[in-house]
Structure 1
Amino acid sequence: MARSTESEPETKTTDAYRLIENEDKPPDIKYEKENSWVAGVQMFVSFLLAGFGMVAASLLLDVVQHWDVFTKVSEVYILVPALLGLKGNLEMTLASRLSTHAHLGHLDTSLGSLVMGNLCLIQCQAVLVGFLAAMAAVAMGWIPEGEFDIHHASLLCASSVLTASTASFVLGLIMIGVIVVSKKMNINPDNVATPIAASLGDLTTLALLSWIASVLYKSLGTSLVLPSIIIIIGALLVPVCGYIAWSNDFTRQALDEGWVPVVSAMVISSAGGLILDHTVSIYTGIAVYQLVINGIGGNMVAVHASRLSTQLHTGQKEGSVIGSTTKLLLLMVIPGQLIFIYTIGYLRAGHTSTTPTFILIYMSAAMLQVFLLLTISHYMVAWMWKMGMDPDNSAIPYLTALGDLLGTALLGVAFSILYAIGDKDSDLGD
């Protein structure tokens, strides 16, 4: 028998972010037990795509680092990891938010409002994040040399702001498309959205940054007009997009909560960068493996957090620390890492031989990193929910930054052990 809309209040969009008891689920939430093998295949394929996207970004960086703008304006090279890290967090939190909305049925009932609110939200966040990353690069380039170059600073700010703004708009539309298509094809967006966001985000942002910085470099030293216009337009976009996002029920909470995690993640990742800087000076071969261990670990914990957040939003019971999702993800660590280790070996990108001893110790570090991340994710998402914060907005930046820190530290320990036991086939310092 059809229920009268007058007898029961409609579910408001603002109710999207409250815990719903199983017996009180609104009719747009249809929860069916997910087949573990199907979920595993969906996640593994998306991890492979993300991994190869990461490899493609590394190969692109290897090409563009020889361009004039990278060699003459060294701060652009400093800008790359900061901008990619900050932008990556924006894309993955967007993917996690939209996945939850897909499960809550809001893509069917309020797609237009969701698209407008989220595109304006990430535009506002991206411009500010682009400016923040540029300022960090300017400071890191200025402090050692002791002199400030206004032309270099304007080039960095304009390139970073325009790259972040353009990439966010394009990737935002792509992620909305991916999640809509996933739901149509009966694929769980929580399993595929965050890794796809990560892989497309790095490649797109790096390609745009390289091209935009090269174009602006041609006017370097002659005029500040073009960079100034770009920065002013970016500054005007922030309040306009921020107001639209604040006026939207779907994005108001994200606009309020999304800043501290993203900035905190940059600080945590910087600590990982200091560890990497120290270990690379001792073991040259560590750099390329750091990309793999951190990339895979970050993607896995992002999927884990996204799935946990959706469970809480849709009123499902909180599982144990070693739940089915955790077991599935841990099972994927070894095959996933092996694929990329041998890909690196095939491309001859690493300086370290893949001996059995190396693989054993490296895999131990990778397994420990992912296990620690998934455990932290379980408790962090539950704690944020109890504190009234939305894990979709706040958890992933902290977790991916912790992944960078743990991965780099554990990799340093692994290489130290290899050096100590005398694995002579591993050219650790070559």
Structure 2
Amino acid sequence: MNRNKNNSRMARTTESEPETKTTDAYRLIENEDKPPDIKYEKENSWVAGVQMFVSFLLAGFGMVAASLLLDVVQHWDVFTKVSEVYILVPALLGLKGNLEMTLASRLSTHAHLGHLDTSLGSLVMGNLCLIQCQAVLVGFLAAMAAVAMGWIPEGEFDIHHASLLCASSVLTASMASFVLGLIMIGVIVVSKKMNINPDNIATPIAASLGDLTTLALLSWIASVLYKSLGTSLILPSIIIIVGALLVPVCGYIAWSNDFTRQALDEGWVPVVSAMVISSAGGLILDHTVSIYTGIAVYQLVINGIGGNMVAVHASRLSTQLHTGQKEGSVIGSTTKLLLLMVIPGQLIFIYTIGYLRAGHTSTTPTFILIYMSAAMLQVFLLLTISHYMVAWMWKMGMDPDNSAIPYLTALGDLLGTALLGVAFSILYAIGDKDSDLGD
């Protein structure tokens, strides 16, 4: 098989002759190792820092916008009468976010390898079909999880609620993937033309647009389908059947495409595993929220920023490996930049939360110090894990563009939630007790 050949090629590679590609997805159609017109120039650290920080701010404000939107739509009839829709939101947003971020990472690597100039049509078709196939199955999986979580406690199964959830989730995932896929392709093409490194901006933009777009579509579609709830199952059934037919068609096109075959093969386990890891974080959050009411809004911030930073780190490292650059040439400075961005980024969002009166915990100097310590430790651990995980996947013949980000963002949720719980426990223990710290 091609992967075995790739592994044997990699084993024979020496330090003086760096391996540039180990996967079929990044090999040029003519089987050339590297297009001769690509030049790898050293990136200015300050320019990279500005690009990353601006994209983090956009991602953060997109996250805040999604939170405000959820605060509005949670009072709609479909959310109050079909409570499983609310259960569906975090699962669907998390799974869809991983698909969009891995797409951004893959396309960023292709941009650096010059494939956008030589094979743009094939890349667009293959990746749009790939994420369509993944999104429909992921949407169905998320809906089944929501149905189970709503059904088991009450012991009653409602076929109308189940059909509404499945149809809403599948149609939302399909539409969001198509729209966001086109946007991400456009962002990366434009960034390359403007001499902006897509690794610095693509994954945070994917995260920010993904949550807001997916939540808006889910709310609208579920609300429309709710109007026919209890009278007919025809419309939801049609949506589910069309989605089921899309999966094999789009899957076949993605499998036939050299650029997406390996992603179709490798992309499932990381996404599903990430859902399991995130669920563990959800259990911790459920426990801590019952004790410290003010923790919920900060959980969104610490997990969002941590996830975006480690996604950029993994995307840049994967690109370096694919393009044959030395591992330590830029990653060291990137790690320092990302750690330095934690403090101003978190401060901006802490005070934004306070200004919008979205949080209930007083932003005392003690709170800021302990919260920042938790955020810094989370990002440090994530960047360290990212370095070793991406390198290990590369050595094992896996493409980190397809596999690393779901694991890392899920670990970010788990670490962020756990460390935030510890931070609030310390604040309570040392006497910084406002109403949300249990006093």
Same fold by TM (over 0.5)? yes
Residue by residue over 1:155-176, the C-alpha shift from the partner in whole angstroms, topping out at 9 and shown as x without a partner, is 0000000000000000000000
Q: Does structure 1 conserve the Cα–Cα contact (< 8 Å) formed by 2:288 and 2:421? A: yes
Q: Structure 1: state its 5+ residue gaps.
A: none
Q: Does structure 2 conserve the Cα–Cα contact (< 8 Å) formed by 1:101 and 1:107? A: yes
Partner of 1:258: 267
Residue by residue over 1:31-57, the C-alpha shift from the partner in whole angstroms, topping out at 9 and shown as x without a partner, is 000000000000000000000000000
State the alpha-carbon separation in 1 of the partners of residues 15 and 70 from structure 2. 59
Q: 1:116 to 1:272 in 2, by over 3 A?
A: same
Q: Does structure 2 conserve the Cα–Cα contact (< 8 Å) formed by 1:21 and 1:316? A: no
Partner of 1:65: 74
Q: CA RMSD in A?
A: 4.4
Residue by residue over 1:313-343, the C-alpha shift from the partner in whole angstroms, topping out at 9 and shown as x without a partner, is 0000111897111000000000000000000
Q: Does structure 1 conserve the Cα–Cα contact (< 8 Å) formed by 2:310 and 2:379? A: yes
Q: 1:316 to 1:23 in 2, by over 3 A?
A: farther
Q: Does structure 1 conserve the Cα–Cα contact (< 8 Å) formed by 2:24 and 2:259? A: no
Q: Does structure 2 conserve the Cα–Cα contact (< 8 Å) formed by 1:130 and 1:157? A: yes
Q: Does structure 1 conserve the Cα–Cα contact (< 8 Å) formed by 2:21 and 2:322? A: no
State the alpha-carbon separation in 1 of the partners of residues 15 and 431 from structure 2. 76
1:424 to partner: Cα distance? 3.2
Q: 1:48 to 1:7 in 2, by over 3 A?
A: closer
State the alpha-carbon separation in 2 of the partners of residues 413 and 7 from structure 1. 46
State the alpha-carbon separation in 2 of the partners of residues 13 and 27 from structure 1. 18
Residue by residue over 1:371-402, the C-alpha shift from the partner in whole angstroms, topping out at 9 and shown as x without a partner, is 00000000000000000000000000000000
State the alpha-carbon separation in 1 of the partners of residues 19 and 425 from structure 2. 60
State the alpha-carbon separation in 1 of the partners of residues 366 and 18 from structure 2. 63
State the alpha-carbon separation in 1 of the partners of residues 19 and 284 from structure 2. 53
Q: Does structure 2 conserve the Cα–Cα contact (< 8 Å) formed by 1:301 and 1:400? A: yes
Sequence identity (%): 99
Q: 1:287 to 1:91 in 2, by over 3 A?
A: same
1:243 to partner: Cα distance? 0.1
Q: 1:5 to 1:289 in 2, by over 3 A?
A: closer
State the alpha-carbon separation in 2 of the partners of residues 195 and 38 from structure 1. 17
Q: Does structure 1 conserve the Cα–Cα contact (< 8 Å) formed by 2:378 and 2:415? A: yes
State the alpha-carbon separation in 2 of the partners of residues 243 and 98 from structure 1. 20
**Bigger CA drift: 28-37 or 93-102?**
28-37
Q: Does structure 1 conserve the Cα–Cα contact (< 8 Å) formed by 2:59 and 2:208? A: yes
Partner of 1:148: 157
1:18 to partner: Cα distance? 6.8
Residue by residue over 1:192-237, the C-alpha shift from the partner in whole angstroms, topping out at 9 and shown as x without a partner, is 0000000000000000000000000000000000000000000000
State the alpha-carbon separation in 2 of the partners of residues 310 and 62 from structure 1. 38
Question: What TM-score, normalized to structure 1?
Answer: 0.95
Residue by residue over 1:283-330, the C-alpha shift from the partner in whole angstroms, topping out at 9 and shown as x without a partner, is 000000000000000000000000000000000011189711100000
Q: 1:402 to 1:20 in 2, by over 3 A?
A: farther
State the alpha-carbon separation in 2 of the partners of residues 409 and 181 from structure 1. 39
1:351 to partner: Cα distance? 1.2
Number of residue pairs matched by the alignment: 430
**Bigger CA drift: 316-325 or 52-61?**
316-325
Q: 1:6 to 1:53 in 2, by over 3 A?
A: closer
1:429 to partner: Cα distance? 3.3
Q: 1:146 to 1:23 in 2, by over 3 A?
A: closer
Question: What TM-score, normalized to structure 2?
Answer: 0.93
1:26 to partner: Cα distance? 3.1
Residue by residue over 1:242-291, the C-alpha shift from the partner in whole angstroms, topping out at 9 and shown as x without a partner, is 00000000000000000000000000000000000000000000000000
Q: Does structure 1 conserve the Cα–Cα contact (< 8 Å) formed by 2:21 and 2:33? A: no
1:428 to partner: Cα distance? 1.7
State the alpha-carbon separation in 2 of the partners of residues 163 and 64 from structure 1. 16
State the alpha-carbon separation in 1 of the partners of residues 350 and 217 from structure 2. 28
State the alpha-carbon separation in 1 of the partners of residues 353 and 45 from structure 2. 30
Q: Does structure 2 conserve the Cα–Cα contact (< 8 Å) formed by 1:21 and 1:315? A: no
Q: 1:140 to 1:29 in 2, by over 3 A?
A: same
